[in-house]
Structure 1
Amino acid sequence: MLEKLVNGFETHLFRNRMWVILSFILITIFLGYQASQLKMDAAFSKNIPLNHEYMKTYTKHQKDFGGANRIMVSVEDTSGNIFNPEYFETLKNVHDQLFFIPGVECSQVKSLYSPSTRFTEVVEDGFAGGPVIPADFRNDEYGLNVVRDNVEKAGIVGRLVSNDYSSAMLTAQLMDFVAKTDEEMAESEGAEKDITTKPLNTIQFAKQLEEELRGKYETDTIKIHIIGFAKMAGDVAEGAKGVLLFFLIAILITAVMVYLFSKSLILTLLPLICSLVAVCWQLGLLTVVGFGLDPMSILVPFLVFAIGVSHGVQMINAVRRRVIDGQNTKAASASAFRSLLVPGGVALLSDTVGFLTLLAIDIGIIRELAISASLGVAVIILTNLILLPLVISYTTIKPEKEDPVKKAKIEGLWRSLSRFATPKYASVVLACTALLYAFGFQQASNMKIGDLQGGAPALHLDSRYNQDTFHITDNYSITTDYMTVIVEATPEACTYHSILNEIDQFEWMVGNTPGVESTASLASVSKQVNAGFNEGNPKWQVLPRTTASLV
């Protein structure tokens, strides 16, 4: 039944091969245009499992506590001392510039110039305090000395100011959506006219950071260090542009290898062209279904090309063998099509299903990778198992006369290898396999999960982003890895000693866990305030037991 179906399909295709090839050309033109509209798409929410219980808590309280998609900008004075007029002028300009970059949550920008950056001190009359940089700040020696004193009183050394006073930090929370420009509103059609926002373009945002912060304000004496998911995604996307060069090199190397195998220019070009058509279809279909290309999935087109060439080489080898046996090119192509359609199609469908299983992982970037890869592998069935033999049927392949000596050598090699299928040699192979399995199983227990080096693993260790990361982790008491724990309790729970005591106990346990650098919570702040209410006496740095005192 299956053989009859394949034969009927082959007969129909080869009788109408010109129309079929023309259809492929038209589809390729359409999907090629769609591929030209493909854009890099990197979003923070795609990198986290939104349906996980931890992430549900994150999204539930995101508006109250802020999200995890933020950037950190460290402004460094190469002289080693930030308390000079030129530095503070630059710091103010960087703060103002960051404040107005589209995509930044203005209320969540934090730096020395933020009104919310305050200090508190105990004085004779009780408490005194105010912004670290006062409203009447003068950028001179006197004003800078006031700011220095306020910085020490505020307890922000190691957080907003580096431990050695050589740099200061700005942090900003990013929004998921930004307002459309007037031009974008004018271009909107239909139902989109009522939508005034659009998703944040992470890669464009990273480019703005580079141009409007580092490009404007970095000098010989001032260094700008920027880290955060958005900046990392932008750097990966920027580096991905260089992948095109490697893609061309890979095509050239593949072409040379296929030519050495086929000894024919036409049989070299055809599988390469059909594989590139598959890549074109894959990228075009991504645009059609509404996806972009994530920088982390940039290698998927390479994978599709490699798989396409592999199946293409099988096809041209089958055609060539039949031509050598005396068939003409059309008959050889039809025969090769019949013999490879089912096994090749099953193999490619198996690969497609294998990639689709990744959809079970509830992370956006993994699911997009699964869809991208499965689309690419699926279209290879059309381009390399159907289009390729149809195109080959229009070519003329001259049968090669095989060298009897060379043929004898090859047959001798295969005859030698066939001995491994006999019991005598097979037992040795199985024993070696068992030993290798045991060794691999033992080594698998030492497999590390996670990042084994500092910085972003997607970038080289000496990349600018990773060097910025090392600067921040080396000079501040905070790290780029932090965990937020949200305590849900009854209304006004913050005013009850039993609740705050539980938080305090938890913070103590976390703070004494190896690898934790610092902690902060409402409980630790309450103890500091309580000591302040009692003339700053450290003996009173405890949690009050009465609700009235906690209020």
Structure 2
Amino acid sequence: MGNIKQETMPVIRDLRDFDRHSGNLLERLVFNYRPLFMLLMALATVVLGYMAATRLELRPSFEKMIPQSQPYIQNFLENRQSLRGLGNSVRVVVENTQGDIFDPGYLDVLKQVNDKLFLTEGVDRAWMKSLWSPAVRWTEVTEEGFQGGPVMPDTYEGKPEQIEQLRQNISRAGIVGSLVASDYKSSMLIVPLLDKATASGQRIDYHAFSQMLEEQLRDKIEFAGDSAARKAGEEGKGQYKVRVIGFAKLMGDLIDGLIQVMMFFGLAVVTSLIIIYAYTRCVRSTLLVVGCSLIAVVWQLGIVAWLGYAIDPYSVLVPFLIFAIGVSHAAQKMNGIMQDIARGTHRLIAARYTFRRLFIAGVTALLADAVGFAVLMLIDIPVIRDLAITASIGVAVLIFTSLLLMPVALSYVGVGAKAAERALKIDTRAEGHKGFGKLWDLLDRFTTRKWATGAVLVAMLMGIGGFMVSLQLKIGDLESGAPELRADSRYNRDNAYITSHYALSSDLFAVMIKTAPEGCLNYKTLVLADRLAWELQQYPGVQATASLVNAVRQITAGTYEGNPKLNSIQRNQDVLNYAAQQASVNSPELFNTDCSLMPVITFLKDHKAETLDAVVGIAEKFARENNSEDRQFLLAAGSAGIEAATNIVVREANRTMLLYVYAAVTLFCLITFRSWRATLVALLPLVLTSILCEALMVAMGIGVKVATLPVIALGVGIGVDYALYLLSVQLHYQRQGLPLSQAYRNAVSFTGRVVGLVGITLAAGVVCWVWSPIKFQADMGILLTFMFLWNMLGALVLIPALSYFLLRHPVLQAHVAQAAETDTSQRQGMPHALTTSE
């Protein structure tokens, strides 16, 4: 670097020689009133910490998981009161492992479960179904007409003849495969849930509901009260087993998993401590870096609670990211202060110097991070919008904790003398082409024609290959069960049992047929409903269909002594009216009270993206061809219908989101670099990372859905920071007239360690997610780790290679002459003066 003077930020050892009124207004306010500033920060931490501890809630919501402005969802919500059995529900299966359901002991246990669930707050009791529900009825045709009644005999007392009567009623009711397992070893309770508890008016607490299922049902019945065995994941040793699936149970299991996830947060803290200490070898500065980042998390959670937001299983991951980003920012402030102290500058002055150099760069980089978060607000799914708001709050908080609190705190405690001396030696060795200098020499080769061409060609081949693989990326779930949880989780084991023992799955897709009052009994309407059901049945992924048409056919045939010739839809309106009257008793869920809405319910074999896309295509085509003023075919209700609508929004948002985030980052880079060529150099590595990330998702069998949608946007928003590190310094030197090789060599020697530290710190903060019991968090951890590390490597290798072709001869700016005059002074400050904060 040559003989260098330090004129702009000279070494000042005595505070009396420093002009405390120098610097901008913000610097003077913060550092000249340090005690007041620290007091205000401490008070804010205490208040927000108290709010986070006392008011923050884990509150998942069924409504927030669905895109409420999507046409299918609007159709469902408008007609929700008429479709109360097709919304949010839980399915509970009680199995007899040592017999069948016709065991008096089993039926007593089933009654206990039925009564407990029936009296549980938030259950929609009118639509609950089980063998003990009066609404579950049997019907048969006799010489005298129809006979029927509840499946469970009214006078049941466990006598053998009553058990035999129950067996006959089950057969006549046709519920084998739906409420009764095909092997008769278990039966199901279908428990629809209300939006809010009827007594309190509060939203249902899914975690409390899930805990009730575990403690009041599973523990008592399956584990004989031994909750420790259940929590340890052991199999119950009792005669009866309880299996539960449904949205409420899934959310409860996710929240249980999040409690374990807190251990991973602790692991991330420990990992960051190790990385920062290995970098600095200074205990006090390491603790400050991690401490300021933890304060940012406390502030974030406190503000979220203060604004009335709740944490859900998806947004709870954001504090991990905020912590990791905060560590990387704070580490850079610490690095700049350490270098100044090593040169003899007083710790307070060193802190002010670092603030001057890095505050604007830090805010600028945080804005780049915010782009990746803010663009998520454009997605029409409330849970993702809440995640974006929570993350944006966290980014705003980092301005106070990492960019302001960290340098002020270090101005009090400073850094260890040995650590400062070690940092100075490392810089000196690097300048002498030793130590890190050898690595910078290697990276500098990518500014030559041979290495640049090779790097660009390899990147192109990887991009083309990755793009071809990414074309196979699917939207939605790629596996049966709940992909949010591990395949061996209790929930997915329960789901596998139910799928294998029941002919009809819990994946319901319903098309709503809306007419004028009494219009659902119109002959033409019934015929079209029958045709729709037939077309849906032709797809292999459909198990069966159910609608008012089925009931009308059976009742009509029964009216005429079971004549199979009359198992059809009659044109005679009186016959249709009578059939509907009978159906209202046995199957009230098949149409509403004024007969203006009836669903055609499709039972799907799974809810994979391929199945949902096919069924939606069939139903949409039929609706387009048959909608009229008299009747409309509206998609969609049922669990599978809601998921299909969500997949549609996710599919549209996936590309739109990337378009917006790249447009915002492009504009941001243009403003920062003032060069379209430099902007292109910064963006191309990000594009390659996005393509490879999608290819990695294909290879790992991960579909694009609510849980994984934010990952790519976050990777782009945070990944562009690496370009800021290198290109800002490189362009500075090139605009002074230095050749590309020398400019990049200076840039990477000044910022290379910081880039590596940031990449490793960010990756370390999320890589431990891989061991999470929540599968979607593990998937996000793998994807984010890949994107953080690959963005780091891509920036170090592709920025010099692309610069060879696009920035070899940049046009000198008008300020070059002035810059040249101060070149000597600036070059000494460059190792920390132009180090761009993350």
Q: Give TM-score, length-normalised by structure 2.
A: 0.62
What CA deviation, in whole Å up to 9, does each residue of 1:73-116 have, x standing for no partner?
Answer: 10111024110110111111111111001111111211111111
- Matched AA of 2:169: N
Instruction: Quote the offset at 1:237 in angstroms.
Output: 0.5
8 Å CA contact 1:34–1:284 kept in 2: the answer is yes
What is residue 14 of structure 1 aligned with on the other side? 31
- Matched AA of 1:119: W
- Matched AA of 2:111: K
- Of 348, 359, 362, the match for 1:330: 348
Displacement over 6 Å in runs of 4+: none
Deviates more, 1:519-528 or 1:255-264: 519-528
Is 1:34 aligned to 2:60, yes or no? Answer: no
- Of 438, 441, 456, the match for 1:430: 456
Is 1:99 aligned to 2:125, yes or no? Answer: no
- Matched AA of 1:230: A
8 Å CA contact 2:196–2:204 kept in 1: the answer is yes
What is residue 188 of structure 1 aligned with on the other side? none
Change (3 A) 1:321 1:169: same
Distance 1:287 1:266 in 2: 31
Q: How does 1:121-160 map to 2 (within 5 A)?
A: 121-160=140-179
Q: How does 1:234-253 map to 2 (within 5 A)?
A: 234-253=252-271
Change (3 A) 1:532 1:179: closer
Is 1:173 aligned to 2:192, yes or no? Answer: yes
Distance 1:329 1:364 in 2: 47
8 Å CA contact 2:22–2:28 kept in 1: the answer is no
- Matched AA of 1:521: S
Q: How does 1:378-527 map to 2 (within 5 A)?
A: 378-397=396-415, 398=417, 399-400=420-421, 402=425, 408-409=433-434, 410-527=436-553
- Secondary structure of 1:88 counterpart: helix
- Secondary structure of 1:242 counterpart: helix
8 Å CA contact 1:164–1:475 kept in 2: the answer is yes
Distance 1:80 1:539 in 2: 41
- Of 88, 94, 101, the match for 1:75: 94
Distance 2:540 2:358 in 1: 58
What CA deviation, in whole Å up to 9, does each residue of 1:482-517 have, x standing for no partner?
Answer: 112110122222322111000000000111212111
What CA deviation, in whole Å up to 9, does each residue of 1:92-144 have, x standing for no partner?
Answer: 11111110011111112111111111111111112111111121223121101
Change (3 A) 1:5 1:452: farther
Distance 2:76 2:439 in 1: 63
- Secondary structure of 1:171 counterpart: strand
Deviates more, 1:306-315 or 1:453-462: 453-462
- Matched AA of 1:453: E
What CA deviation, in whole Å up to 9, does each residue of 1:377-423 have, x standing for no partner?
Answer: 21111100110000001123323051665754122321231121233
8 Å CA contact 2:514–2:520 kept in 1: the answer is no
What CA deviation, in whole Å up to 9, does each residue of 1:461-488 have, x standing for no partner?
Answer: 1111111111111111121211121101
Distance 1:293 1:313 in 2: 28
Aligned CA RMSD, in angstroms, stands at 1.7
What is residue 272 of structure 1 aligned with on the other side? 290
Instruction: Quote the offset at 1:5 in angstroms.
Output: 11
Deviates more, 1:169-178 or 1:24-33: 169-178
Deviates more, 1:71-80 or 1:399-408: 399-408
| Paired positions, count | 533
- Matched AA of 2:349: A
What is residue 233 of structure 1 aligned with on the other side? 251
- Of 302, 306, 311, the match for 2:324: 306
Structure 1: gaps spanning 5 or more residues: 181-195
Instruction: Quote the offset at 1:251 in angstroms.
Output: 0.9
Instruction: Quote the offset at 1:179 in angstroms.
Output: 4.3
What is residue 181 of structure 2 aligned with on the other side? 162
- Matched AA of 2:384: I
Instruction: Quote the offset at 1:154 in angstroms.
Output: 0.5
8 Å CA contact 1:80–1:166 kept in 2: the answer is yes
Instruction: Quote the offset at 1:534 in angstroms.
Output: 2.3
Instruction: Quote the offset at 1:529 in angstroms.
Output: 1.4
Distance 1:463 1:393 in 2: 50
Distance 1:50 1:396 in 2: 53
8 Å CA contact 2:433–2:441 kept in 1: the answer is no
Instruction: Quote the offset at 1:298 in angstroms.
Output: 2.2
Instruction: Quote the offset at 1:69 in angstroms.
Output: 0.7
- Matched AA of 2:206: T
8 Å CA contact 1:352–1:375 kept in 2: the answer is no
- Matched AA of 1:374: S
Distance 2:457 2:23 in 1: 42
8 Å CA contact 1:202–1:230 kept in 2: the answer is yes
Structure 2: gaps spanning 5 or more residues: 1-20, 224-237, 578-838
Distance 1:496 1:31 in 2: 62
Distance 1:5 1:241 in 2: 49
Distance 1:513 1:413 in 2: 59
What is residue 117 of structure 1 aligned with on the other side? 136
8 Å CA contact 1:34–1:287 kept in 2: the answer is yes
- Matched AA of 1:319: I
Instruction: Quote the offset at 1:336 in angstroms.
Output: 0.9
What is residue 221 of structure 2 aligned with on the other side? 217
- Secondary structure of 1:299 counterpart: helix
Q: Give TM-score, length-normalised by structure 1.
A: 0.94
Identity among equivalent pairs (%): 40
Change (3 A) 1:28 1:405: closer
8 Å CA contact 1:98–1:213 kept in 2: the answer is no
Distance 2:554 2:22 in 1: 81
Distance 2:102 2:414 in 1: 79
Instruction: Quote the offset at 1:200 in angstroms.
Output: 1.5
What is residue 24 of structure 1 aligned with on the other side? 41
Distance 2:447 2:35 in 1: 46
Distance 1:394 1:165 in 2: 74
What CA deviation, in whole Å up to 9, does each residue of 1:290-349 have, x standing for no partner?
Answer: 011102222111111000001111111111122223322111111111111111111112
Distance 1:198 1:92 in 2: 28
- Secondary structure of 1:286 counterpart: helix
- Secondary structure of 1:225 counterpart: strand
Change (3 A) 1:533 1:6: farther
- Of 343, 353, 361, the match for 2:379: 361
Instruction: Quote the offset at 1:434 in angstroms.
Output: 1.2
Distance 1:470 1:80 in 2: 20
Distance 1:5 1:319 in 2: 18
- Secondary structure of 2:295 counterpart: helix
Distance 1:336 1:405 in 2: 23
What is residue 349 of structure 1 aligned with on the other side? 367
- Secondary structure of 2:517 counterpart: coil
- Secondary structure of 2:108 counterpart: helix
